[in-house]
Amino acid sequence: MGAPMTTLTTVTVRTFWDSRGSNNDFDLDLAAFVLTSGRVANDSDFVFFNNPVSTNGAVKHSGGADGVTEETLTINLDHLPPETTAIAVLATVYNGNGAFGDLCDAVLAIDDEALGPIAFYEIAERHGAARALVYALIVRDGDRWILDAMSSVEPDLQSVARRFGVNV
């Protein structure tokens, strides 16, 4: 008998940066798209600061208000419906004229409740000129969930939202 397959359970995704060295006109935002065959089932499955909870409550956004330099997504994978095939995790620069390089020490970290730290990514250092980044897909693989840290640079939030079926 083989070893049991490792699966993600409750994932926490955080972005944080040092505001002391950053241009105060820029903000790092975090968003998630709850996907069924590559698209959201409805606009409520686009989770971000203006829609902080997914349709069924399994994905939650917090932070990002009143100058807070940290945002968090909490994803309870056991509470997602069986038709959910993936969660796309997106980081963007709030001011459309800015780029990740305008933020000081901007990073993205992913932890799992059962597995501990699983990813730490220095966004500004690796993608300084970019404004949007689909950092990861959390993908259903049979009975387990796995992380695909893909790091795909995108033009902006609106382009990504449209691609995943959000009405913008």
pLDDT tens-digit profile of 66-101? 554 688 999 999 999 999 999 999 988 776 567 776
Class of domain 10-163: mainly beta
pLDDT tens-place string over residues 10-66: 999 998 876 555 555 567 789 999 999 999 999 999 999 899 999 999 999 998 555
Considering 66-70, 119-123, 140-144, 149-153, the range whose residues carry the highest mean pLDDT is 140-144
Residue listed under structure tokens 């409750």: 10
Could you tell me the pTM of the whole model? 0.87
Residue 24's contacts (CB-CB under 8 Å, 6 or more residues apart) are none
* DSSP reduced 3-state for 16: strand
